[in-house]
């Protein structure tokens, strides 16, 4: 006997609850029985956004970084991976690697740019031997070390950067904006991986950072970021300044010299 399916909406006192069940007749021991196949309940919830008070310059830079990760990670929410475990096929890995190389070439990715072999949430980062991986998972390469002292908490750093996604597409650049970025260390204005990468740089140094998702911006239903991706930054540290708080009457600010 062929299956007959129908969708039935169940009444509910809560308008935010939508319940549906699928019914069908199936032969069982020469008798027809009514069986309930599945029932799903969806509850709609509202998320709340938290507001953070920061200085005007730091807030603008933070917004730029948030927009960078927003466009590089994608606007659509991620889907859960299949429950079945697939065996790794070397051919598939080579195919994905060649696909990533082709896309990076089309996006004019810079020389010695890392490759990303992605299959679902599983990502393999392939780099040359010139890259170093820290204990936190941050991967970087120094093109030029620079001279002087490394920045400390409370000091202001001035730097240029160019941001890329896994496809080698340029997302943001202070060079194109026409002015470098300025930020005080230790104020949580940068994503953790970026601040860790710039913390041991010296003025005049140029470094490429590969930031893993766990050192990137927060990801979840209450944020704009729905896709876990590696981000790549080319950073040039221009200078470091000492900062001190100045108070005049009821007015107080931070001055960096």
| 246 within 8 A of 212, measured Cβ to Cβ | no
Residue 163, strand partner residues: 172, 233
The β-bridge relationship of strands 206-211 and 139-144 is antiparallel
Tell me what pLDDT residue 106 has.
Answer: 95
pLDDT at 5: 40
| 173-190: pLDDT as tens digits | 999 999 999 999 998 888
User: For 153-164, how does the pLDDT look when each residue is reduced to its tens digit (9 = 90+)?
Assistant: 999 999 999 999
The model scores a pTM over 0.75: no
Instruction: Write the pLDDT tens digit of every residue in 62-100.
Output: 666 655 555 555 443 333 333 344 555 665 888 999 999
* pLDDT band at 248; cut points 50, 70, 90: confident
Q: What is the pLDDT of residues 118-128, one digit of tens each?
A: 887 788 999 99
Mean pLDDT computed over every residue of the chain? 74
Give the pLDDT score at 209: 97
Region 136-140 average pLDDT? 96
Which is higher by pLDDT, 209 or 255? Answer: 209
């Amino acid at each position: 006997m062929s299956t007959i399916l129908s969708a039935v909406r169940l009444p509910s006192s809560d308008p935010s609850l939508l319940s549906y069940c699928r019914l069908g007749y199936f032969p069982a021991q020469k008798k027809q029985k009514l069986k309930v196949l599945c029932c799903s309940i969806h509850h709609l919830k509202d998320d709340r956004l938290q507001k953070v008070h920061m200085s005007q310059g730091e807030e603008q830079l933070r917004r730029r970084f948030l927009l960078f990760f927003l466009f590089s990670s994608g606007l659509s929410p991620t889907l859960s991976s299949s429950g079945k475990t697939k065996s790794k096929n070397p051919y598939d890995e080579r195919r994905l690697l060649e696909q990533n190389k082709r896309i990076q070439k089309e996006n004019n990715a810079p020389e010695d740019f890392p490759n990303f072999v992605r299959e679902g949430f599983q990502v393999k980062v392939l780099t040359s031997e010139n890259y170093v991986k820290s204990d936190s998972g941050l991967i970087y390469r120094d093109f030029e070390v620079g001279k002087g002292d490394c920045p400390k908490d409370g000091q202001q750093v001035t730097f240029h950067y160019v941001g890329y996604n896994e496809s080698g597409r340029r997302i943001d650049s202070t060079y194109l904006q026409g002015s470098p970025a300025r930020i005080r260390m230790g104020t949580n204005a940068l994503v953790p991986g970026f601040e860790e990468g710039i913390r041991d740089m010296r003025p005049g140094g140029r470094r490429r950072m590969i930031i893993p998702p766990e050192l990137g911006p927060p990801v979840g239903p209450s944020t704009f970021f729905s896709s876990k991706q590696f981000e790549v930054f080319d950073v040039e540290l221009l200078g470091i300044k000492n900062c001190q708080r100045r108070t005049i009457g009821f007015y107080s600010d931070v001055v960096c010299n």
